Chains A and B, each alone.
Chain A
Amino acid sequence: MADHQAVEQHTLPPNPEKATLEGRNKYLGFWFFLGGETVLFGSLFGTYLGLRDGVVDGPGPSDLFHLDLVFIMTMILLTSSLTSVFAVINMKRGNYKGLLMWMWATVLLGVAFLGFEIYEFYEYYHLGLGFTTSAFASSFYTLVGTHGAHVAFGVSWITVLLIRYRKSGLTLTNAPKFYTAVLYWHFIDVVWVFIFTVVYLLGIGG
């Protein structure tokens, strides 16, 4: 019931995201979902590793990748994970304003990351790497693009939450929502770490 759950801040339990059965279900269900997502990205990584030498006449990894650009993107995304951690810490302290502020910071960093990724794809396209150029091109754009689509979805999701709950205060209903969104955000961050290693570092050094 809404009136039951709009509890005053100081009466919220220490882990508001797991205080209700609904919250616990969401939390556990989301972990399972991330397990499935792991297989999803695992399949894409496997496909990429199988096809990354299939460059035919098009440009290959060492012709394209610049570590400075990718380093900036990595730093942006890692920082966004940190800001989302700050948001959760504020949630557990009952500081709703802090939660909102750090989540907005996370969204902004996510948007910045997406901007760099669009720039990156644009540049590769002009260097002759179209989606259909080679098996390497297709598998690269599919893997990194799927990750980018996840980032875009995460940004929209968190933005919707932030606007919907801009004035509500922390409740037992919205705490699990923010918490699962943060879990999702960490997950796409971890996937990026693997992309950084497997795609970019191996592409230049391996």
Chain B
Amino acid sequence: MSYEKAQSKNVIWDWLTTVDHKKIGIMYLAGGAFFFALGGLEAILMRIQLMFPEFTFVQAQTFNELLTMHGTTMIFLAAMPLLFGFMNFIIPLQIGARDVAFPFLNALGFWLFLFGGILLNVSWFVGGAPDAGWTAYVPLSSESPGHGLDYYVLGLQIGGAGTLIGGINFLVTIINMRAPGMSMMRMPLFTWSSFVASMLILFAFPALTIGLLLLMLERLFGATYFAVDFGGNVIIWQHLFWIFGHPEVYILILPAFGIFSEVLATFAKKRLFGYSAMVFATLIIGFLGFMVWAHHMFTVGMGPVANAIFAVATMAIAVPTGIKIFNWLLTLWGGRIQFTTANLFALGFLPSFVMGGVTGVMLATSAANYQFHDTYFVVAHFHYVIIGGVVFGLFSGTFYWWPKMFGYRLNETLGKWFFWLFLIGFHLTFFVQHFLGLMGMPRRVASYLPGQGLDSMNFISTMGAFLMTVAFILLLVCIFVSTKNRTNVADPWDGRTLEWTTPTPVPEYNFAQTPLVRELDAYWHEKYEGDGKMKAAEPLEDIHMPNGTILPVVMSLGLVVAAFGLIYLVHPLTIVGFAITFGAMFVRSIKEDHGYHIPVEAIKRDKEEG
């Protein structure tokens, strides 16, 4: 393809075939936001059902499907893709790269996620969604009638493959594609934490792949891993699931930690306090994240020795996390703090997340865990860390990076209304759930009896959920009414890192000349020690770009076709599906695709216009 041809593509075809990390990042954000709204709707339906004792708003079976799909959607289809959206858009800009290491695989990862998510949600319309909880414990999941769990197994398998591909891509990008002078210890914290999170993806997701494979073979082809009559063992699923599932928690929270590190340093107008301690704390959290999976299984009967080891390992994670909290506080200390919406979410995160951390240490106490296990106390705990940590991080990142990504600033007044409503709604919903749990209300039940002291707190919790919904709608309003704020978008926050040196909208090649990095917080250094512009590390030359391709969509579509074949055991369909996917891989392998070059004149023209 030539430069002229690449410039004159139809808009829809362009987005379907793009391998540009910025467009893929935006597609991840759009897909993630859609599933976030869907998961939120499922949550609201559950909270309405629990608003009054013995309420009959939804059937018990529907409730089981809602709680399963709420968890699955929020973890796999909302939180991770939204983080992937920011990682895709921001990491190459922060390290001074023109693209990710594998642009083709990047597109493939996105389409696998999207098609996996759609496949999972098709189950609603064809006889019922999965209903065994997002953890899908056997034998409940292996014996569950209907096709809901088959959709769960195959939808997550396809989406999970996309995530694994994305993780490998980020790792190689960060190691191989950094600009000259950008040593590992000069990388912005968001890039660092995304790097560690990608490492976790790489080593955690294959365990899920195997777990899902075994469950699929058990459900569809009569294998007997989990069938006790045939010598099987149900605990194997729990181990495989949590060997994946616990690192997954850190896959979500570490990039959010990275966002807060950027936001707090920017709006305190100070260098991040304890940069190297932050890096090592991130690495230690990543390592320990693999050592603690069995704390989800304290009541299974592993024995006191195993329980004690996993309890102590779990509590140890509080140490590096505490280091991070204090570093953030000391970053703020003496800073000239600006209370923008992005920063408000970061400031709101600190106390909210600490509360989730404290209940985490309580749950890690294996003896006490027998009392907390499977109650609303656990629900309160993980919503405090996931909403108070991950979702606050996503909203903070949204307000922080929106001008760079979309070319306009989000309205701060509406943003602050959104922040306060969401913060209050969040605490209203989940704070009382601690006490509901301690009073013995089990999680995942569709109803409860009146007169047990649970009525008023459940009502309060539902009101909080409504408040969060109102807040979220306000965010959508904010996104639509802010489009006129098109001034001062290249560097609106007096930024410190390389992404703010690019023009807005960011050209497809990101940097006309690869920048030379001379210090941590490279842009800040040039602003206050240099002339305010990055030094170039290369002369102005033609820039090589990869060609767009439709093959990632074809490969992902083939797997969806194969999945339908497997779910309904229509073997010809399965074969056709795999033939499409492997055929596309074959084409990709034999067709050498060397991309095209953007001529210097076009880059100069962009520079003059920008």
Contacts and interface: CB of A to CB of B under 8 A. Distances in A.
A193 B459 CA distance: 60
Contact of A56 (B171, B206, B230, B592): B230
A135 interface: yes
A5 B177 CA distance: 21
B435 interface: no
Interface residues of A, number: 41
B169 interface: yes
Contact of B202 (A35, A53, A142): A35
A44 B207 CA distance: 9
A200 to B, nearest CB: 20
B233 A43 contact: no
B175 A54 contact: no
Interface of B: 101-102, 164, 168-169, 171-172, 175-177, 202-207, 209-211, 213-214, 217-218, 221-225, 227, 229-233, 236, 239-240, 243, 586, 589-590, 592, 594, 597
Contact of A36 (B168, B214, B239): B168
A43 B203 contact: no
A142 B223 contact: yes
A36 B232 contact: no
The interface residues of chain A, by DSSP majority, are classed as helix
Interface in A1-47: 1-2, 5, 21, 24-25, 28-29, 32-33, 35-37, 39-40, 43-44, 46-47
A44 B214 CA distance: 9
Given A131-B222, A142-B217, A160 B168 contact: no
Interface of A: 1-2, 5, 21, 24-25, 28-29, 32-33, 35-37, 39-40, 43-44, 46-47, 50-51, 53-56, 131-139, 142, 157, 160-161, 164, 173, 177
Contacts of B171: 28-29, 32
Contact of A47 (B203, B229, B236, B592): B236
Given A36-B168, A43-B210, A44-B210, 11 more contacts: A28-B175, A40-B209, A50-B233, A55-B231, A131-B223, A133-B224, A134-B231, A135-B233, A157-B589, A161-B589, A164-B590
A43 B224 contact: no
B301 to A, nearest CB: 15
Contact of B231 (A1, A33, A54): A54
The interface residues of chain B, by DSSP majority, are classed as helix
A33 B171 CA distance: 11
Contacts of B176: 21, 24-25, 28
Nearest to A28: B172
A90 to B, nearest CB: 22
A37 B101 CA distance: 20
Nearest to B590: A164
A56 B214 contact: no
A143 to B, nearest CB: 10
A43 B221 contact: no
A189 to B, nearest CB: 19
Of the candidates B168, B210, B214, B597, the one having the most CB atoms from chain A within 10 angstroms of its own CB is B210
B430 to A, nearest CB: 33
A55 B231 CA distance: 6
13 contacts: A25-B101, A28-B175, A33-B168, A36-B202, A36-B205, A40-B209, A46-B240, A53-B231, A54-B231, A132-B221, A136-B231, A138-B218, A164-B589
A25 B231 contact: no
A135 B230 CA distance: 6
Contacts of A25: 101-102, 172, 176-177
Nearest to A4: B594
B240 A47 contact: yes
A5 B595 CA distance: 13
B168 A137 contact: no
Contacts of B210: 40, 43-44, 47
B337 to A, nearest CB: 40
Contact of A40 (B169, B206, B217, B586): B206
A44 B172 CA distance: 27
